[in-house]
Amino acid sequence: MFNLKSKVAAITGGGSGIGRAIAELFAMQGAEVSILELNIAGGEDTVKTIHSKGGKGKAFACNVSDQRQVKDVLSNIAQGSGRIDILVNCAGISHIGKLESTTEEDFDNIFKINVKGVYNAMAGVIDQMKAQGGGVILNLASIAGSMGIADRFAYSMSKGALISMTFSVARDYIKDNIRCNCISPARVHTAFVDGFLAKNYPGQEKVMFDKLSKAQPIGRMGKPEEIAALALYLCSDEAGFVTGTDYPIDGGFIKLNN
């Protein structure tokens, strides 16, 4: 089950965190993985790990907010591999602040990466997927996109837009055999979380880490590998009946936190 042999997967943001975990797992399951990454060193490091385990992977320098660049990279992948079976949109940035503390520059930057970046990547594969008879698109959203999270005004906006785009693409291309879903994690322990705590709570990292962990009823943050496991299912043939769905993976945050 969950065999991705002969599948070609393009993954944005595959150089770190959840994107890296997904890239490595997909390669382990037989996919030929192409990573689109602004931090090309991170992307190449993921590819190095993939190769060390006998998998197939390539890294491409790419700014997802630049539509021409995204389309050129995806076109090169399709030409080189003959197809793109899977697109996973992991590239994204965060922002802390409520409405009054979010500047226009902050808002535009979040939109440019988290919303337009996903739009650019989906637009870059849709014709290829239609021509080859189908494909799978998976977007990394957040529980912030469907419920109120304090001090996450712009970030929540971007993830809510991403969920809506997922539903729209699933509806519009269902007859083209293209499935589109999204995953909405709660807090996941990545290097980003450690950096955030070190920057904003110097000397209090452990206390704040425990506090953030306990915000999930299950009592801890998620692991990138756990998100990757759900991504593998949704992008595999075993999920052939699943489309137009937002999957929370949140340690009980949405339903049990009341």
Is-contact 167 243, C-beta < 8 A?
Answer: no
Residue-level pLDDT at 23: 98
Looking at residue 56, what is its pLDDT? Answer: 98
Per-residue pLDDT at 37: 98
Residue 95 main-chain phi, psi, to 5 deg? -155, 135
pLDDT score at 97: 93
The whole-angstrom separation of Cα 112 and Cα 48 is 29
Residues labelled as active-site residues? 155
Which residues of the chain carry a pLDDT beneath 50? none
Domains of the chain and CATH, by start:
8-188+223-256 (3.40.50.720)
Give residue 191's pLDDT: 87
pTM, full prediction:
0.96
First to last CA, the chain: 37
Q: What is the pLDDT of residue 196?
A: 81
